[in-house]
Amino acid sequence: MLNRRNFLKLGAASAATGLAGTAVMTRAADMHAWGNQDFSPKTGRERKAVPSACYQCVTRCPNVTYVEDGRVVKIEGQINSIRSEGVMCAKGQGGVNQPNDPDRILYPLKRVGARGEGKWKQVSWDEALSELAARIQTLKDRGEPEKFMFHYGRMKSSTSKMVKTFLGSVGTATIGDHTSICEGGKWTAQELTWGGHYDTWDFDHTRFVLNFGSNVFEAGTNHVPTSHRLIRAMAERNVRMVTFDVRLSNTAAKSSEWVPVKPGTDLAVVLAMCNVVMSEDLYKGDGEAFLSFCKATGDNHAGTEEKVAALKAHFGQYTPEWAEKISGVEADTIRRVAREFALARPACAISYRGAVAHYNGNDTERALQTLAAITGNIDNPGGRCKAVGPKWHSPKGPKDLPKARKLAILDGPKGAAALPTHHMSHNVLKMIKEGSAGRPEIYMTYKYTPIYANGETQENIEILKDESLIPYFVVCSPFYDENAALADLILPEPTYTERWDWEDMVSPVQIPEFYIRQPAAKPLGETRDFGDVVCELAERLGTPLGYQTKEEFVRLSCEMTPEVAAVGGFEYMKQYGVYHDPKAEPLYFSYRKELKPEAYEKDSVVYDAETGVYWDWKKAHAESREAALEKGYTHTKKSYTGYVGQRIGDKVYSGFKPDKLNKSGYLEIYSGLVEEKGFPPLPTWTAIPEHEKMGPDDLIMTTFKVATQIHSRSVNCKYLTELYHKNPAWINPVEAAKRGIKDGDEIKVKSPIGEIITEAKVTPAINLGVIAISHHCGHWEYGRYASGNKAPGGRDDDPDLERIWWRDDNGMHPNWIIANSPDPINGQQRWMDTVVQVSKT
Amino acid sequence: MSTSSTQGSGDRRVAASTLAMAGLARERAALYGLLATLFRHQPNQQLLLSLRSTELREALTLAGMNLDEDFFNADVDELSDELAVEFTHLFLLPGHLISPHESVQLKGGSGLLRGPETARVREYYTAVGFEIDPATPMEPDHVSIELEFLGHLAGEEASAWESGDSGKASDALHYQQDFLEKHPGRWLFDFLQKVESESGSDFYRGLARLTADLCAEQQELLPQLINRFEAYHEAS
C-alpha cells in the first residue's frame, strides 16, 4: 500500500523526468482568499462577496457583505481580519436590514410647514445645496463663519478627515462631537494619566481580568475584537474575570465572579485595591519598576522610594473596610480580588461607562490607571495597553486657510467642567438656549440625534423647535429620526453598506490593520455620501478640497499610505478589504523607547526643567524660544503638540506622549493639571452629591446597552428589534416588594427632571437601591420597526412587524428624566447618577 | 406575419383596424406615461398648467378624474407647493408613506425596499429588451417605473401596428397582459386603494382612481384583444 512518502517519491520522479504534464491553464488573477463564500439557498448561485466594513457601532469591524441581485442579503465577519478574526456580532449581522428599510429617506426634503409639523417637500440636491451654501456664504461674508455649527455623532476616519477639511475651509471651528455622552470622561482621565486616549485590553495574553462597569461581552468601543478574545481566554486558558457592576449583565453572568456594587462607588473599591497593593507591598516587582515612568508626587524628579512613600501615604486612608461601608462590597472580597489582580501577572484592568459616567468618574478611571500602573500592568503583554491603529495618509485639502473661529458653546457653561477635553455635547443645546456665548445661525447634525441621545429629552425638543434659538437646522441622516423630524432641511445619506471609507479602528493585537469600506450595493434613491456632499459644497463656496468624491479620497489615500501602496493600493484594498503587515511585531512598552540625542538636541527643542520634558516650541507655535523657556512647558498654550520626549534619570524616553493636555511624558498618577484646577492631584474619593442627600425610599437609576442593539441607530433593523424591542425597568425583588410592585406591573419613575411610565422587571439580577433601564427603545420616530408608527398605508401583514409588536409596546426611553449634567472635571454626561422615586401606578 | 399583403376592401378594413389599434395603443402609451410622471415627481408649475389646459381638463374628466374648481383656479405656485407636500407625505415621508414599491407592498412578499421582488421586475424588463438608465434614482419596481414600462410596451405595440407588424404587435399585447398580471396586478390595486383612502388631496385620490381604472380596464381588455387577434389570425 502506498503511503505518503511513496506518493512524494513518485511526484519527485515525475518532475525529474519531465512527466509532470503540460499545463493548459494559467493564473489569470491573484488567488482569491480562502473562506467568506456564500451561496443563495434558492438558486445555489454563489453570491457576490464584497469585502467591506461594518458601521453599526464604532468598533467598525471588517466584514464581508454578500449581494444577490444588487441587494445586500447577508453580512458576516472578515476572516482575514486580525482584529475580528471572522467574528461578527448580532448587531453587525443585523445590519443587513439597514439598506432595505422601507422607511429610509431617499430624497432631500425641505420643511414646508411649521418646524416639527411634519410637512415636507422633496427638493433637488441642487436646490438643497444652493440654499445651504448661500446661507454659509452669508455667514462667511459677514465674517461670522463660526455661526455655522456642525455637530456630529458617529463620524470617523476618512469621512471625518473630509468633513473637517471642509469645515476648515469654511472657517468654522464650532464643531461639536458626541463623546461626552459616550465615554469622553474616560478619555480625559487617560489623557491626564498616560496621554493619548484609548486603552486596548490584551486578552490574548492576560491571566486575569478586573472589570469595572464594562459590558464587554455585549457592547463597547472595540466590542467584537476584544469580546471574542476574552471568551477564548476564559474558555481555553481558564482566565478569571471579576466584574463589578450594579447589574447582572450578560458580561457579569459570564464572568467568573460578579460583585454587585452600589452605583457611583466603584472609585471607593478601586482606591481600596490600591490600598491593598501598596500596604501589602504587592507593587514590588513589575509595579515598582514601572514607577520610574510614573509621576506620583508633586516633584517630577522624585525617586521610586519617594513615590512609594507618597502612594502608601495617600492610599493608606482607603482601607477595604472603609470602602465596604461606601460600596456595599465586602472588605474581604476587595482584599482577595486586589491580591488576585496584583499577583496574576499579567492582569488587565478594564472599565467603561458603568464606572466612569458618574460625578466621580474621572478619578475612577485615574484610580484604575493607577492600579494597573502599580502592579506593572500598563502597555505590557496581557495588560492595559496603549492603542495601536493604522496611520493612513490622505490628501490635505486647501492650504492657507484663515484661522477658524468658534462659538464658545461646546464645553458647557463656564466652570461646569474643569478639563472637558472631549467637550460637553449634552450641554450644547442648553448653551444655545442660554445664548450668552452666541448662537449658531446654521445648526447641522450628522449621524447625531441630540434629542434622543442626550438627557432632558423634552428640553431638547423645545430648543430645537424654537426658530428664534436655532434659525436653520440641517440634518444629514439616512433615516427619519427624532432629530430629522424637527429639521428644516434633510440631506439623505446612504447606509454604510452603500458607501466608501478607509478605516482605522485600533487593534487588540497591537499590530495595525488597514481596512476599507466599499459600497456593496448602489445607494438607494438620491442618497449621497456626505463626503461627496462636502466636496460639492466646498466647490460652491469657492474653496475646492482638491478631490471630488469620497471614492477618490479613499483611492488617493490608498496610494499615499506607504504600507497599503506597497501591496497594490486601492485595487488591493478593493479586492481584499483588509491589510496588515504579516511581519509586524506587536507594539508593547512603547513608552520605553529611548530617544537618540538628535531627536531632542535641536534648535527648536527646549528642555523644561520642571517637568523633564523636551518639547519643540516651533511645532507648538510658541512665540519664541525665550517665551517658551520663560512660560515653561506646562503653561504654554498647547505645548503638548510639540512634545518630544521625557528625561528620566540620564536617559530620554518617548514616554507617555501627551494629547490635548500639557501633561508630562510620565504616566501621571499625580496630576498637577488637575491640582491647578482645584481638584485633588492623586485619585481621591469624592461622593456623588445627589447620592448623599437620598431619602430612604429613593433609588439610583442607571442605564445600559444590550448585545443586540447599538445605542440609537439600530432599532430600525427588524431582525434586531425582533430580538429586543422593549426595555422594562430592572428592580430588585426586595425593592419591588417595598413598593408593592410585581413583575410586569406598570410603574412610575420620577426624577427632578420629570417622570416616565414603564414596566417593572422584578429580578434579583440587579443590586439593591438601583433601578436600571436600557437605552435603544422608546423611539417615536425612526420608522415603523423602531417606533411602532406603522404608516397608515404600510403593509399590515408583514410577519416581522407582527413579531415586533406582539405586545404593542416599543419600550420607554429613560433620557426623558435624566439631567444633562457633567462630571465636574471632564464634562462626561452622568448617565448613572440619577436619583428617582419609583411607585406602582 | 404581416397584414399588409391582403388585398381589396379587406385591405382597407384591416388597415383601418390596424390604424385604430395603433391609435389606441399610442393613447394608452401616452396615458401610462402621464401616470408614470405624476407618480414619479411632485408636479411642478409647468405640468400643472398643462393639466389645467382646456384640452387636458376635458380629457381628464372624460377619463374619470374629476378635479374640483380649486384645482383649476388656485394660484399655480400655491397649488404646486400644496401638491408637493402631499406627494412627499404620501410617498416619501417615513412614518407616513405608502411605499410606492412592489417589494414593500406585495402581500406575502419581503416587505423590503429593494427586495427580491425588485430584482424579478428588473429581470422582466431585461428579458423584454428594456433597461433602466443607471442614473435613475427609482427602483425598478417603483409604481412610476412599472407604469412607464407598460407605456413602453403600448408604444411598441403602436409602432408595430403602424409598421404593419402585427406579430410584433401581438407580442407587445402579450407582454402587457403578462406584466400586468405578474407585477402591477398583484400589488398596484391595493396600493392605489391605500392612496385613495389616505390622501387628503382630490388630485392624488383622482390619480389613484384613474390609474386603478386604467389597469383594471386593461386587465379585462387585453385578453379580449389577444383572443380577437388570435382568432382573426387563425381565420385568415
Q: What is the enclosing helix (H) or strand (E) of A588?
A: none
Instruction: Give φ, ψ of A176 to 5 degrees.
Output: -100, 150
Determine the average pLDDT of the residues in B43-51. 93
Q: Is residue B1 part of a domain?
A: no
Find the closest chain A residue to B110 by CA distance.
Answer: A798
Residues A269 and A376 in one domain: yes
| Strands A240-245 and A257-260, bridge-based pairing | parallel
Chain mean position to CA A341: 26
Closest Cβ–Cβ partner in B81, B138, B198 for A121: B81
Q: What is the enclosing helix (H) or strand (E) of A103?
A: none
**Grid coordinates in use for B138?**
427609482
In the numeric block, the cell 419581503 is attached to B110
Residues A422 and A350 in one domain: no
Nearest CA distance, A99 vs chain B (angstrom): 8
What CA–CA distance (Å, rounded) separates B236 from B216? 31
Residue B112 and residue A100: Cβ atoms within 8 Å? Answer: yes
Residue B92 and residue A105: Cβ atoms within 8 Å? Answer: yes
Kindly list the distances between the CA atom of residue A167 and the CA atoms of A130, A163, A502, A621, in Å, as whole numbers in the listed order: 17, 6, 20, 22
pLDDT tens digits for range B145-168: 999 999 999 999 999 999 999 889
Whether B139 contacts B113, CB under 8 Å? yes
Nearest CA distance, B57 vs chain A (angstrom): 26
pLDDT tens digits for range A177-214: 999 999 999 999 999 999 988 999 999 999 999 999 99
Closest Cβ–Cβ partner in A104, A109, A794 for B113: A104
Residues A354 and A405 in one domain: no
User: CB within 8 A of A794, min separation 6: which ones?
Assistant: A102, A784, A801, B97, B98, B99
Residues A164 and A230 in one domain: no
| pLDDT(A501) > 70 | yes
Residue B88 and residue A791: Cβ atoms within 8 Å? Answer: no
Domain end position, chosen among A676, A704, A723: A676
Return the minimum-mean-pLDDT range out of A70-79, A178-187, A215-224, B14-23.
B14-23
Residues A418 and A544 in one domain: yes
Q: Which residues of A touch B105 (CB under 8 A)?
A: 795
Nearest CA distance, A788 vs chain B (angstrom): 9
What CA–CA distance (Å, rounded) separates B4 from A134? 63
Confidence of residue A1 (pLDDT cuts 50, 70, 90): very low
* B94 in contact with chain A, both atoms CB, cutoff 8 A: yes
DSSP A215: -
More confident of the two residues A745 and B95: A745
Q: Give the per-residue pLDDT at B14.
A: 61
* B87 in contact with chain A, both atoms CB, cutoff 8 A: yes
The parent domain of residue B121 ranges over: 8-43+99-235
pLDDT tens digits for range B4-27: 334 445 556 666 688 888 999 999
What CA–CA distance (Å, rounded) separates A89 from A722? 16
Q: Give the per-residue pLDDT at A93.
A: 98
Q: Give the per-residue pLDDT at B38.
A: 95
Residue A781 and residue B104: Cβ atoms within 8 Å? Answer: no
Q: Is residue A89 part of a domain?
A: no
What CA–CA distance (Å, rounded) separates A217 from A229? 10
Q: What is the enclosing helix (H) or strand (E) of A840?
A: strand A834-840
Q: Is residue A33 part of a domain?
A: no
Residues A468 and A554 in one domain: yes
| pLDDT(A222) > 70 | yes
Interface with B, mutate which of A42, A68, A69, A790 (most B CBs under 10 A): A69
Closest Cβ–Cβ partner in A100, A103, A800 for B95: A103
pLDDT tens digits for range A502-516: 999 999 999 999 999
Q: Is residue B191 part of a domain?
A: yes
What CA–CA distance (Å, rounded) separates A294 from A591? 11
Q: Is residue A835 part of a domain?
A: yes
Q: Is residue A13 part of a domain?
A: no
Residues A359 and A474 in one domain: no
* A798 in contact with chain B, both atoms CB, cutoff 8 A: yes
Q: Which residues of B touch A800 (CB under 8 A)?
A: 111
* A336 in contact with chain B, both atoms CB, cutoff 8 A: no
Question: For the range A133-142, what are the long-range contacts, defined as Cβ-Cβ under 8 Å and sequence gap of 24 or more?
Answer: A133/A537, A133/A540, A133/A541, A135/A441, A135/A442, A135/A472, A136/A170, A136/A442, A136/A537, A136/A541, A137/A541, A139/A441, A139/A442, A140/A170, A140/A171, A140/A541
Q: Which residues of A touch B42 (CB under 8 A)?
A: 121-122
Confidence of residue B1 (pLDDT cuts 50, 70, 90): very low
Give the number of domains in chain A: 4
Give the number of domains in chain B: 1
Q: Is residue B168 part of a domain?
A: yes
Nearest CA distance, A516 vs chain B (angstrom): 25
Q: Is residue B73 part of a domain?
A: no
Kindly list the distances between the CA atom of residue A526 and the CA atoms of A104, A259, A372, A412, in Å, as whole numbers in the listed order: 11, 52, 51, 37
Closest Cβ–Cβ partner in A99, A113, A783 for B95: A783
Confidence of residue A8 (pLDDT cuts 50, 70, 90): low
Q: Which residues of A touch B93 (CB under 8 A)?
A: 109, 118, 120, 480
The CATH number for A727's domain is: 2.40.40.20
Residues A620 and A554 in one domain: no
The CATH number for B220's domain is: 1.10.3480.10
Q: Is residue A27 part of a domain?
A: no
| pLDDT(B228) > 90 | no
Q: What is the enclosing helix (H) or strand (E) of A711?
A: none
Q: What is the enclosing helix (H) or strand (E) of B133?
A: none
Nearest CA distance, A521 vs chain B (angstrom): 10
Burial of B2 (0-12, 13-18, 19+ CB in 10 A): exposed
DSSP A817: G
Residue B88 and residue A69: Cβ atoms within 8 Å? Answer: no
Q: Which residues 118-177 in chain B show a CB within 8 A of chain A? A: 118-119, 122, 134, 137-139
The CATH number for A314's domain is: 3.40.228.10
What CA–CA distance (Å, rounded) separates A694 from B199? 54
Q: Give the per-residue pLDDT at B11.
A: 58
Determine the average pLDDT of the residues in A540-553. 97
Instruction: Provide the 10 A C-beta neighbour count for residue A752.
Output: 10
The percentage of residues in chain B with a pLDDT greater than 70, rounded to a whole number, is 93
Return the minimum-mean-pLDDT range out of A432-446, A480-494, A703-717, A780-794.
A780-794
Q: Give the per-residue pLDDT at A364.
A: 98
Instruction: Provide the 10 A C-beta neighbour count for residue B170.
Output: 18
Q: Is residue B110 part of a domain?
A: yes
Residue B42 and residue A122: Cβ atoms within 8 Å? Answer: yes
The parent domain of residue A219 ranges over: 194-386
Q: Concatenated DSSP letters for A662-693?
A: ---SSEESS-HHHHHTTS-SS------HHHHT
Q: Is residue A627 part of a domain?
A: yes
Residue B84 and residue A112: Cβ atoms within 8 Å? Answer: yes
Q: Is residue B88 part of a domain?
A: no
* A113 in contact with chain B, both atoms CB, cutoff 8 A: yes
- Beta-strand (E) ranges in A405-559? 442-446, 472-476, 489-491, 501-503, 514-517
Q: Is residue B84 part of a domain?
A: no
In a 3-state reduction of DSSP, which class is residue A656?
Answer: coil
| pLDDT(A642) > 60 | yes
Instruction: Give the ranges where chain B is alpha helix by DSSP (H).
Output: 8-40, 45-51, 54-62, 69-73, 76-91, 102-105, 116-128, 143-162, 166-182, 184-198, 202-235
* B45 in contact with chain A, both atoms CB, cutoff 8 A: no
- Complex-level ipTM: 0.89
What CA–CA distance (Å, rounded) separates A444 from A477? 11
Phi-psi category of B48—alpha, beta or left, where left has phi over 0 and alpha has psi -120 to 50?
A: alpha
Residue B98 and residue A791: Cβ atoms within 8 Å? Answer: yes
Q: Is residue B51 part of a domain?
A: no
- Name residue A211's beta-bridge partners: A243, A350
Q: Is residue A123 part of a domain?
A: yes
Nearest CA distance, A796 vs chain B (angstrom): 9
Residue B94 and residue A70: Cβ atoms within 8 Å? Answer: no
In a 3-state reduction of DSSP, which class is residue A327?
Answer: helix
The percentage of residues in chain B with a pLDDT greater than 90, rounded to a whole number, is 75
Nearest CA distance, A270 vs chain B (angstrom): 48
Degrees (nearest 5) of the Cα angle A648, A653, A658? 100
Q: Which residues of B touch A100 (CB under 8 A)?
A: 110, 112-115
Of A162, A134, A164, the residue nearest A548 (C-alpha) = A162
Confidence of residue A12 (pLDDT cuts 50, 70, 90): low
- Name residue A730's beta-bridge partners: A761, A772
In the numeric block, the cell 445648526 is attached to A443
Return the minimum-mean-pLDDT range out of A138-147, A799-808, B53-62.
A799-808
Q: Is residue A137 part of a domain?
A: yes
Instruction: Give φ, ψ of A339 to 5 degrees.
Output: -65, -45
User: CB within 8 A of A4, min separation 6: which ones?
Assistant: none
What CA–CA distance (Å, rounded) separates A784 from A804? 10
Q: Give the per-residue pLDDT at A794.
A: 62
User: CB within 8 A of A261, min separation 6: which ones?
Assistant: A244, A245, A246, A269, A327, A328, A329, A767
Nearest CA distance, A121 vs chain B (angstrom): 5
pLDDT tens digits for range A407-442: 999 999 999 999 999 999 999 999 999 999 999 999
What CA–CA distance (Å, rounded) separates A111 from A118? 8
In a 3-state reduction of DSSP, which class is residue A195?
Answer: coil
Residue B107 and residue A795: Cβ atoms within 8 Å? Answer: yes
Residues A300 and A323 in one domain: yes
Q: Which residues of A touch B81 (CB under 8 A)?
A: 112, 121
Residues A634 and A650 in one domain: yes
